[in-house]
Amino acid sequence: MLSRALSRLSLVRVTVGYATMLVAVAMTLLVLGPRVEEAVVSDMSTNLHNLARGHFATLIGSVFVTSSGFIYVWLPGLVCLLALAELFWRSGRLILAFGLGHVGATLVVAFGLAAAIQFDLSPMSVARASDVGISYFDLKKSGRGGG
């Protein structure tokens, strides 16, 4: 029975590995405390400030760091979506689609924010706003959650 379960999990090994890394990073940041979490989130943020300074490693690092303390809320849904995509596309194509989607979305948002700042449609403070993980679901920032 255990070997059958492991055999089935091997079909979605990228999904399982990614979820494991997300949990490990979240737990590590929780144990290290809010000051370390804030520093890591700031360094791994794909905000305009970091991208303009050539911190392109944040494009990779931001995939594994989340500033939301509600990982247990959205992670099961993400795992289901990634597992379905991995079963459909296989591991290599999932990594390619996820990577291109992440980098593409980051660059589209960055260009849009840069234009908004340039034309005085957004304040300059937006350039340093934290943007890691599933930042649009960060309940702390939106005012709907704790913290």
Structure tokens, 67? 């500033």
Closest CA to 103 of 25, 138, 65, 51: 51
Task: Tell me how crowded residue 112 is: count the other CB atoms within 10 A of its CB.
Answer: 12
What pLDDT score was predicted for residue 68? 63
Which pLDDT tens digit goes with each residue over 31-58?
999 999 999 998 998 889 998 888 778 8
DSSP string, 78-98: HHHHHHHHHHHH-HHHHHHHH
Lowest mean pLDDT among 90-94, 131-135, 143-147: 143-147
Given a contact cutoff of 8 angstroms between Cβ atoms, the answer to whether 66 and 2 are in contact is: no
What pLDDT score was predicted for residue 22? 94
Reported as type and span, the H/E element at residue 68 is: none
**Would you kindly state where each structural domain of the chain is located, as residue ranges?**
2-134
Structure tokens, 128? 């340093």
The answer on pLDDT for 136 being more than 60 is: no
Given a contact cutoff of 8 angstroms between Cβ atoms, the answer to whether 17 and 94 are in contact is: no
pTM to 2 decimal places: 0.83
What pLDDT score was predicted for residue 135? 55
* Number of residues in the chain: 147
Q: At 85, which amino acid appears?
A: A
